[in-house]
Amino acid sequence: MRRGSAAVVAAAAVIAGTLLPAAPAAAVHGAVPGDFNGDGYRDLVLPVPGAAVEEYGNAPQAGAVVVLYGSANGVSAKSRRQTITEATPSIPGHPFERDRFGTTTATADLNRDGYADLVVGSPDSIAERQVTVIWGSRNGLAKGTRLPLSSSYEDDNGLDVAALSMGSGSKTKILIGGARWTTVFKGPFTSGGSVGSQVQTRTDNAVGSVALGDFNRSGSPDQVAFGALRPELSGSPIMVNHGGTATWTGPLKNGNGLIAATGDVNGDGYADLVVGDPLEPVTPGIDGETGGRVLVYRGSKNGITHTQIPEVITQETTGVPGTGEKGDTFGAALTVADLNRDGAAEIVIGAPYEAVGTAERTGTVTVIPGRRSGALGTGGYSYHQDTTAIPSSNETGDFFGTTLSAGDLNRDGRPELIIGAAGENNGNGAVFTLPGGTSRPTGTGSRVFTLETLGMAQTDGWLGGKGLLRLL
What is the distance, to the nearest Å, from the Cα of residue 255 to the centroid of all Cα atoms in its chain?
Answer: 21
Say which CATH class 44-454 falls into: mainly beta
State pTM to two decimals. Answer: 0.92
Does residue 197 register a pLDDT over 80? yes
pLDDT (average), residues 425-451: 95
pLDDT confidence band for 93 (50 / 70 / 90): confident
pLDDT tens digits along 327-369: 999 999 999 999 999 999 999 999 999 999 999 999 999 999 9
Closest by CA to 239, choosing from 223, 254, 216, is: 223
Q: Domain locations in the chain?
A: 44-454
Instruction: Return the top range by mean pLDDT from 20-24, 179-183, 297-301.
Output: 297-301
As a whole number of angstroms, the distance between CA 123 and CA 115 comes to 26
Res 29 pLDDT > 70: no
At 10, the pLDDT band (50, 70, 90 cuts) reads very low
The residue-averaged pLDDT of 172-181 equals 92
Check whether 296 has a pLDDT greater than 60. Answer: yes
pLDDT, residue 19, reads 32
pLDDT at 8 over 80: no
Amino acid at 447: R
Q: In what order do the strands lie in the sheet with 272-277?
A: 259-263, 272-277, 293-297, 311-313
C-alpha distance from residue 361 to each of 163, 381, 402 (Å): 31, 19, 11
Over residues 24-32, mean pLDDT: 56
- Rounded CA-CA distance 364/284 in Å is 24
In this structure, is the dihedral angle defined by the CA atoms of residues 30, 106, 287 and 306, taken in order, positive or negative?
A: negative
Mean of pLDDT values over 72-83: 92
Using DSSP bridges, classify how beta strands 172-177 and 259-263 pair: parallel, antiparallel or unpaired: unpaired
**How close are the terminal C-alpha atoms of the chain, in Å?**
21
**With bands split at pLDDT 50, 70 and 90, how would you rate the model's confidence at 21?**
very low
Query: Are 230 and 238 spatial neighbours (Cβ–Cβ below 8 Å)?
Result: no
For residue 166, count other CB atoms closer than 10 A to its CB: 18
Q: Which position has the higher pLDDT, 32 or 441?
A: 441
SS (H, E, C) the chain: CCCCCECCEECCCCECCECCCCCCCCCCCCCCCECCCCCCCCEEEEEECCCCEHHHCCECCCEEEEEECCCCCCCCCCCCEEEECCCCCCCCCCCCCCCCECCEEEEECCCCCCCCEEEEECCCCCCCCCEEEECCCCCCCCCEEECCCCCCCCCCCCCEEEEEECCCHHHEEEEEECCCEEEEEECCCCCCCCCCEEEEEECCCECCCEEEECCCCCCCCEEEEECECCCCCCCEEEEECCCCCCCCCCCCCCCEECEEEEECCCCCCCCEEEEEECCCCCCCCCCCCCCCEEEEECCCCCCCCCCCCCEEECCCCCCCCCCCCCCCCCCCEEEEECCCCCCCCEEEEEECCCCECCECCCCEEEEECCCCCCCCCCCCEEECCCCCCCCCCCCCCCCEEEEEEEECCCCCCCCEEEEEECCHHHHCEEEEEECCCCCCCCCCCCEEEECCCCCCCCCCCCECCCCCHHHC
Region label for 368, one of left (φ > 0), alpha (ψ between -120 and 50) or beta (otherwise): beta
* Mean pLDDT computed over 53-63: 78
Query: For position 152, what pLDDT does the model report?
Result: 52
Q: Say what the pLDDT of residue 372 is.
A: 95
Quote the pLDDT of residue 30.
Answer: 66
Give the per-residue pLDDT at 14: 26
Residue 159: which of 204, 129, 126 has the closest Cα? 129
Q: Which pLDDT value is given to residue 11?
A: 29
The amino acid sitting at 372 is R
- Of 25, 40, 18, the closest CA to residue 105 belongs to 25
**Looking at 46-60, 136-150, 322-336, 341-355, which range is the least confident one?**
46-60
According to the model, what pLDDT value does residue 247 have? 53
Q: Out of 167-176, 243-252, 334-343, 383-392, pick the least confident.
A: 243-252
User: What is the predicted pLDDT for the residue at 215?
Assistant: 96
In the predicted model, is pLDDT for residue 100 greater than 70? yes
Q: Please tell me the predicted confidence (pLDDT) of residue 83.
A: 95
Chain segment 237-291, per-residue pLDDT in tens: 999 998 655 455 678 999 999 999 999 999 999 999 999 999 999 988 789 999 9
Taking residues 203-210, report their average pLDDT: 89
Across 35-39, 54-58, 317-321, least confident range: 54-58
